Amino acid sequence: MYTGEKIIAICGEIDCDIMVRKKKETDFDWFIDADLSKYSGKWIAIMNKKVIVSSKKLSKYFFDKVNKAKTKGEQPTIAKIPNKGEIRI
């Protein structure tokens, strides 16, 4: 998804309109920058920039919670948060 922001620029001797496209932050973008240290060693599912479920294992409970939170056409970001001292690659 992109949102447009209109700016006015000077093009030579005349004014012109330019549409600048800004990328909307995705759940994955949010995940990369978020402090998720409290979920260390756990699997998490993220939707709408929120952790909707966390668990030590990918269990039926985990996926039941994910499926309950999903809306039509929306897919969660699922990731394993490394233990303290491990590096995310």
Domain boundaries, the chain: 25-89
The CA–CA distances, whole Å, from 29 to 33, 48, 63, 83, 85 equal 7, 11, 22, 21, 22
pLDDT (0 to 100) of residue 74: 80
| Percent of the chain topping pLDDT 70 | 70
Whether residue 9 has pLDDT greater than 50: no
pLDDT (0 to 100) of residue 75: 83
Q: Is 41 left (phi over 0), alpha (psi -120 to 50) or beta?
A: left
pLDDT (0 to 100) of residue 22: 57
Burial of 65 (0-12, 13-18, 19+ CB in 10 A): middle
Chain mean pLDDT for the chain = 77
- The whole-model pTM stands at 0.66
Cβ-based neighbours of 59, under 8 Å, separated by 6 or more: none
- Averaged pLDDT, 14-28: 62
